[in-house]
Structure 1
Amino acid sequence: VAMGKKITELHQPADLVAVADYHVIPKYLFGQNGQNSYADWYVGFVANAITFTYTPKSKGADKINDQNWYQVLAQPGVQIGRSNPDTDPSGYQTLQMLKLAEKYYDKPGLYDAVLKNAPKTNMRDTETELLAALQSGQIDYLAIYRSDAIQHHLEYLNLPEQINLSNAADAAAYAQATVSTKNGDLKGAPIIYAVTVLKDSPNQTMADKFVDFLVSPAGQKIMNENGFQALNPAPAVGREKAPADIQQATTPWPGQ
């Protein structure tokens, strides 16, 4: 979200934009509501999941598991870090996940009980800014993408697909969780990272080649090795406006 605004409001030069929520690109870069248009296509290249990561020093680390996690996180004295839902996709995706969890486990109050231990003082613009606080013991748990937990060799929870926003097949169920942010009310959706090349990219050819590599077998292998789930074939919106090589490497976005 913040990245999109840097381009549209601060006019920061860039060649391409990659985001952890594919909705960000059309919302901020496609020129909606009479705004300037900075892009007219995008490609979804990986899926991810929201989870909580922790260390052996975290309160309750010796008893937390994939079934009782929300009870441990709600215990008095537990400190939870998270990113700002007004600036970062993982911030509002964490809130959406907690709303889904409340319904999935049939535990009214789960959402508020967990967030009580995740005050604004434990919030940063991006969740990765809190990794040092987690590793030093200043916080016990951190809401984060599964890929980040894997890349940093941290313990993490394998939350059910019904709540972790990882499965495109559960899109309708995810959409039942809506959270309010300064950027409007946001419905839950599968976590699909998307990328586009800006119309005024000063290095258009190289940027196009990077996206082409990203969706190639070699690029997908790197993504899978780092905790992501590469999308094969990669879906694209506005595919007919993308460069020919990217058109050939992608498929129309489902429902488009």
Structure 2
Amino acid sequence: MTRGGTLRRRVVLAGVAGTTAGLAGCSGVFGGGSAVSVLAAGSLNDALENGLRERVDQRVTVESHGSARVARLVAEGQKDPDIVAVADVALFESTLRPDWYAEFATNSLVLAYDADSQGGRRVAAAGTDGWWQPLLDGDVSLGRTDPDLDPLGYRTLFALELANDHYDTETDLRAAIPDPAQLYPETQLVSQFETGAIDAAFTYRSMAVDRGYAFLDLPAAIDLGDPSLADQYGSTSYELPDGTVVSGAPISYAATLRHESGAANAVFEALIGDGYLTEFGFTVPEAYPRYTGQPPDGVAS
């Protein structure tokens, strides 16, 4: 099998893993047996399933969704996991409001493309300075995630809005490019390359790197990956269905431990600080994990 074929199989399997984990959660895994339950952002699914599991002795169940949905499932009492990990600290400061949390990784947005499709090749040819033009012209079928369910979805809108000023475009890219028919669950987004459903997708750099897809790095002014540009990113915002308004900010993943036990504490410590995330395309700043609030004794080592 070619390298491309192998990578595409990994994408499909990653999507299946996310779906399987979701089904397991719906069938009552949380609260049963001795497994440590983790409810997490979809972009963390592959790292948790294939990185974290290998580093802990405890049995772990992972269920992944868009982070906004993760936060609502817990806030509304539909899920009661031991550990919650989201892709946007704003959800801990608004929807969930835990007593404490730990930021443990960062990321940035990229525009991934299918190098085997005509539309994907147009994105590649347009490059970092012109990627938005084929999207605006309708020459490319674009995939993105639902901003009502997932930070990647509203971060895509932030990037498009920030691109207006960066490229000095005459057209409002945030208004002109998004199409409701483009929406896919985060755990299935880049697997749409395999089916030919899309030519390109806004995604996290970690997802593109880990699954081997070609991508364009976006300028720091719009990729939400540069902490020094926090004020610039903060000029954008999105209102979630529950009325919560999230503002643009540097991407930072955060987790909290909701139910303490020897097993859960050990899994939490490994999740936020065992060094595996860089293997899956995430960035872990030297100062991380970084705590907000006061964690229980024995957690913040």
Give the TM-score range, shorter chain: 0.7 to 0.9
Residue of structure 2 equivalent to 1:53: 112
Q: Which residue identity does 1:208 align to in structure 2?
A: N
Among candidates 179, 190, 193, match of residue 131 of structure 1: 190
Alignment of 1:207-226 (within 5 A): 207-216=264-273, 219-220=274-275, 222-226=276-280
Q: Which residue identity does 2:264 align to in structure 1?
A: A
Q: Which runs of 5+ in 2 are unaligned?
A: 1-67
Q: Over aligned residues, Cα RMSD in angstroms? A: 1.9
Alignment of 1:68-217 (within 5 A): 68-112=130-174, 115=177, 118-124=178-184, 126-182=185-241, 183-198=243-258, 201=259, 204-216=261-273
Q: Percent identity?
A: 29
Query: Post-superposition shift, 1:169?
Result: 1.6
SS in structure 1 of the partner of residue 125 of structure 2: coil
Counterparts of 2:215 and 2:80 in 1: how far apart (Å)?
36
Query: Post-superposition shift, 1:112?
Result: 4.3
List 4+ stretches of structure 1 deviating above 6 A: none
Residue of structure 2 equivalent to 1:25: 92
Counterparts of 2:172 and 2:209 in 1: how far apart (Å)?
26
Q: Which residue identity does 2:205 align to in structure 1?
A: R
TM-score, normalising length from structure 2? 0.71
Number of residue pairs matched by the alignment: 229
Counterparts of 2:228 and 2:299 in 1: how far apart (Å)?
25
Among candidates 285, 289, 292, match of residue 231 of structure 1: 285
Q: Which residue identity does 1:206 align to in structure 2?
A: A
SS in structure 2 of the partner of residue 236 of structure 1: strand
Larger RCO (alpha carbons 8 Å, 6+ apart): 1
Q: Is the 8 A contact 1:127 1:142 kept in 2?
A: no
Residue of structure 2 equivalent to 1:246: 299
TM-score, normalising length from structure 1? 0.82
Query: Post-superposition shift, 1:108?
Result: 3.1
Query: Post-superposition shift, 1:5?
Result: 1.1
Q: Which stretch of structure 1 is more off in the superposition, 71-80 or 228-237?
A: 71-80
Query: Post-superposition shift, 1:88?
Result: 0.5
Distance change (3 Å), C-alpha of 1:119 and 1:208? same
Bigger fraction of residues in helix: 2
Query: Post-superposition shift, 1:61?
Result: 4.4
Counterparts of 1:122 and 1:110 in 2: how far apart (Å)?
18
SS in structure 1 of the partner of residue 129 of structure 2: coil
